[in-house]
């Protein structure tokens, strides 16, 4: 395999993006030629045509439910050409926290290659700004179990599909720092033991660590919160050269014991630094002095964790990782100096064929006031036909059998890199909270929580995590917001004010109008015991998910009885809003 330098990778990217329109047409032609015999394409009488006009006129836009029956046949072992030109032999499983249940999605070699290209591209731009040499990376990465469906198809999380691939490891080893932890830790059967050993291995190689990474900001925050609890045990392990008894998995013990040696000097240094930290501010640069940045997905549902992550990061920059989903990749972060709140993603025009559905607010509604989904749609436009400042929903056609698939992501066009657009992620279009004509998204919920959280600052409290529920058990129905706080010392007066603040922060016209005429009841804030969201995460992990892909569900439906049970049994206080005098 030819190894390219960062400069060569950037040159290749510049060449691709100078004529993105032509590259897109070539990419669509390749996809349709490779999959010309697919049953799905033939159902719509495409008849092996590969031009974009024929493709769009024959193949309809779709969502997952439209193709679920085809994917289920693959899950059941149908090895005919259902969605692609050759049988699908492995599947990715989504986290299941966005829609409430995991989704199966096709995974093949072409998706693997696009992943490698995305990672290499963003790394090249990062490395130009923050060169890291031959050091190591403290990576909080966790594999999930590989299972075979009833039909004999390999199914696992997208992260595991990557990290178990020899092709991925071979392609990435020369352009990314070596992970501090051995594979046995990454693929260990117990997440808590793996996390402990990730921290331990990272401390053993503390002077060599060049950057810190996890796929999601949530798992970074969780890792350093765990460090606060186990740092003395880690110091003892390093001082004595003996792994803690809490690590019981033989494969992990054997692998970590090979690199663990008695080091009283290092243990003493770590102990002193942790002991002297003020509220754990800047713990990452304190313990890993040569780290240059912290990297992971920090947009969308990960934004609420940025405040705490910045606390741990101190002066180190946070850098948001690339834009993609279980369905496939979209773009790379080629502007690594932008903070996560402003990050943009340059679309790689050769990894998939992209369309964008223009979305406009009805007259009288300002886009800046709310991210709610009252949009008027127009016909999809091509990659190079989007306009700066406009809002769109992303549609993807990839090499793994998704055709004109609506990702449900809303993006804003921030600009262009050569002739390919740079996207700013706005929110998921999926509905979070709705009782009648009100429609509030995950972003609206986040903004409401952030507004109320300002009232906690004087009491030196913060919201650790949150989710929501539409409660229709009484008439009228009402919004319920669940909070886990950093401690239980908030006064009733402040928490009542927080409930009022969140109620007023939902500016969606349907919600405001419904509250005023009493067709939606007062918002309810339910405060949870510490550790509740850890229980929620453990529940999803017990279903076969990986913590690398875990996202706290921002909305819990009544049908998700197990998660609701966890939340409701941990409620300690409840406050109803009086903001509307109802």
Indicate the pLDDT class of residue 317, thresholds 50, 70 and 90.
very high
User: Do 421 and 439 belong together in one domain?
Assistant: no
The per-residue pLDDT for range 173-221, each reduced to its tens digit, is 665 568 899 989 988 888 889 999 999 999 999 999 999 999 889 889 9
For Cα atoms 51, 52, 56, give the angle at the middle one, nearest 5 degrees.
Answer: 125
User: Do 74 and 137 belong together in one domain?
Assistant: no
| Residue at 496 is within a domain | yes
- Least confident segment among 44-53, 203-212, 360-369, 396-405: 360-369
Indicate the pLDDT class of residue 367, thresholds 50, 70 and 90.
very low
User: Do 70 and 141 belong together in one domain?
Assistant: no
User: Do 269 and 362 belong together in one domain?
Assistant: no
> Which pLDDT belongs to residue 221?
92
> Which pLDDT belongs to residue 269?
96
| Residue at 161 is within a domain | no
User: Do 138 and 287 belong together in one domain?
Assistant: yes
Q: Which residue has the tokens 């989704």?
A: 103
Give percent of the chain above pLDDT 70.
90
User: Do 448 and 385 belong together in one domain?
Assistant: no
Q: For residues 448 and 578, what is the distance between their CA atoms, to the nearest angstrom?
A: 16
Mean pLDDT within 261-271: 96
Q: What is the mean pLDDT of the chain?
A: 87
| Residue at 297 is within a domain | no
> Which pLDDT belongs to residue 49?
94
Q: DSSP letter string over 229-282?
A: HHHHHHHHHHHHT---TT---HHHHHHHHTT----HHHHHHHHHHHHH-STTTT
| Residue at 313 is within a domain | no
| Residue at 114 is within a domain | no
> Which pLDDT belongs to residue 312?
96
Full residue range of the structural domain in which residue 561 is found: 433-576
C-alpha distances out from residue 478 to 211, 390, 394, 493, 582, Å? 44, 33, 32, 21, 12
C-alpha distances out from residue 206 to 135, 186, 224, 245, 388, Å? 10, 18, 15, 23, 44
Q: Which residue has the tokens 């529940």?
A: 539
| Residue at 165 is within a domain | no
| Residue 369 DSSP label | G
* pLDDT over threshold 70, residue 23: yes
* Domain C-terminal end among 292, 309, 343: 292
User: Do 222 and 90 belong together in one domain?
Assistant: no
The stretches of 130-263 forming alpha helices (DSSP H) are 158-163, 166-172, 183-186, 191-204, 217-240, 250-257
User: Do 419 and 374 belong together in one domain?
Assistant: yes
| Residue at 125 is within a domain | no
Q: What tokens appear for 17 in the block?
A: 């993006």
* Domain C-terminal end among 247, 275, 292: 292
* pLDDT over threshold 60, residue 260: yes
The total number of structural domains that make up the chain: 3
User: Do 82 and 209 belong together in one domain?
Assistant: no
* pLDDT over threshold 60, residue 64: yes
| Residue at 156 is within a domain | no
User: Do 64 and 180 belong together in one domain?
Assistant: no
User: Do 464 and 559 belong together in one domain?
Assistant: yes
Mean pLDDT within 364-379: 61
User: Do 77 and 195 belong together in one domain?
Assistant: no
* Domain C-terminal end among 428, 455, 470: 428
Mean pLDDT within 114-135: 87
Mean pLDDT within 380-406: 95
* pLDDT over threshold 70, residue 172: no
- Least confident segment among 116-130, 472-486, 547-561: 547-561
């Amino acid at each position: 395999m030819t190894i390219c330098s960062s400069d060569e990778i950037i040159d290749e990217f510049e060449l691709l993006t100078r004529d993105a329109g032509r590259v897109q047409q070539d990419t669509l032609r390749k996809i349709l030629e490779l999959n010309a015999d697919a049953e799905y394409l033939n159902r719509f009488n495409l008849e092996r045509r590969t031009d974009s006009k024929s493709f769009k006129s024959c193949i309809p836009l779709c969502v997952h439910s439209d193709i679920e029956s085809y994917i289920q046949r693959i899950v059941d072992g149908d090895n005919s050409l259902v969605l692609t030109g050759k049988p699908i032999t492995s599947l990715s499983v989504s986290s299941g926290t966005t829609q409430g249940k995991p989704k199966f999605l096709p995974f093949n070699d072409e998706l693997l290659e696009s992943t490698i290209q995305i990672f290499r591209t963003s790394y090249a731009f990062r490395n130009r700004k923050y060169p890291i040499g031959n050091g190591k990376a403290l990576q909080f990465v966790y594999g999930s179990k590989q299972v075979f469906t009833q039909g004999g198809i390999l199914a696992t999380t997208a992260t595991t599909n990557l990290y178990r691939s020899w092709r991925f490891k071979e392609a990435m080893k020369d352009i990314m720092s070596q992970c501090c932890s051995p594979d046995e830790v990454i693929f260990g059967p117990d997440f808590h033991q793996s996390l402990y050993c990730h921290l331990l291995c990272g401390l053993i190689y503390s002077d060599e660590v060049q950057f810190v990474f996890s796929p999601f900001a949530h798992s970074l925050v969780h890792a350093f919160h765990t460090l606060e609890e186990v740092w003395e045990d880690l110091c003892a392990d390093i001082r004595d050269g003996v792994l803690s008894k809490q690590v019981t998995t033989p494969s992990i013990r054997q692998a970590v014991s090979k690199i663990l040696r008695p080091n009283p000097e290092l243990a003493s240094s770590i102990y002193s630094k942790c002991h002297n930290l003020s509220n754990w501010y800047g713990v990452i640069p304190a313990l890993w002095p040569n780290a240059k940045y912290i990297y992971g997905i920090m947009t969308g549902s990960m934004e609420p964790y940025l405040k705490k992550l910045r606390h741990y990061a101190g002066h180190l920059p946070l850098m948001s990782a690339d834009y993609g989903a279980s369905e496939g990749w979209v773009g790379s972060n080629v502007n690594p100096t932008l903070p996560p709140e402003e990050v943009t993603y340059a679309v790689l025009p050769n990894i998939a064929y992209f369309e964008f559905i223009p979305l406009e607010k009805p007259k009288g509604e300002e886009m800046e006031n709310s991210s709610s989904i009252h949009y008027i749609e127009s016909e999809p436009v091509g990659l190079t036909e989007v306009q700066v400042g406009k809002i769109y929903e992303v549609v993807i056609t990839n090499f793994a059998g998704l055709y004109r698939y609506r990702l449900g992501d809303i993006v804003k066009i921030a600009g262009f890199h050569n002739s390919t657009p740079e996207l700013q992620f706005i929110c998921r279009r999926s509905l979070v909270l709705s009782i009648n004509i009100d429609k509030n998204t995950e972003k609206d919920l986040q903004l409401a929580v952030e507004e109320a959280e300002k009232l906690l600052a004087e009491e030196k409290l913060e919201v650790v995590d949150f989710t929501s529920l539409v409660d229709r058990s009484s008439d009228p129905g009402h919004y319920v917001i669940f909070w886990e706080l950093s401690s239980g010392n908030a006064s009733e007066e402040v928490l009542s004010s927080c409930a009022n603040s969140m109620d007023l922060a939902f500016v969606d016209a349907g919600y405001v109008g419904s509250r005023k005429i009493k067709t939606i009841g007062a918002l309810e804030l339910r405060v949870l015991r510490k550790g509740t969201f850890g229980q929620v995460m453990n529940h999803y992990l017990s279903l076969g998910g990986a913590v690398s892909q875990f996202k706290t569900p921002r909305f819990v439906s009544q049908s998700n009885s197990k998660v609701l049970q966890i939340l409701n049994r941990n409620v300690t206080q409840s406050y109803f809003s009086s903001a509307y005098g109802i």
